[in-house]
Amino acid sequence: MGNRNKLAAGRLAVLAFVGSTVSFAQGQQVGLDGSHVRELEPLAIHPRTSLTIVDQIRHNHFLKKPLDDSASSEIFDKYVSTLDPGHAYLLQSDLDALNKYRYQL
């Protein structure tokens, strides 16, 4: 009788997992058409914040690595990799459009 209970508990666990996964996936589909998703726009404070961050990195980072075009390109590549690590979302045309920012920190 113990094996039957274990089997029933296992089936119940699988059913609960599948049910929660399906409901989660359905919940994620709401708003995918962009109809009620607010557009992201930079705030007025963002340029100043960016300059403060760059200044802090230049003066206080322990490596004292220069923030030049080489560093900017490296940061850009890491950023794009973070945005789409599996290469599933960004098209080559998206990457080409973003590439104009490669040397702009």
Q: What pLDDT score does 57 carry?
A: 86
Cβ within 8 Å of residue 82, ≥6 positions away? none
pLDDT along the chain (105 residues), means of 10: 56 54 47 66 92 88 84 94 93 94 87
Displacement of CA 34 from its chain's centroid (Å): 18
> Three-state SS across 68-89?
CHHHHHHHHHHHHHHHCCCCCC
Cβ within 8 Å of residue 47, ≥6 positions away? none
Q: What pLDDT score does 93 carry?
A: 95
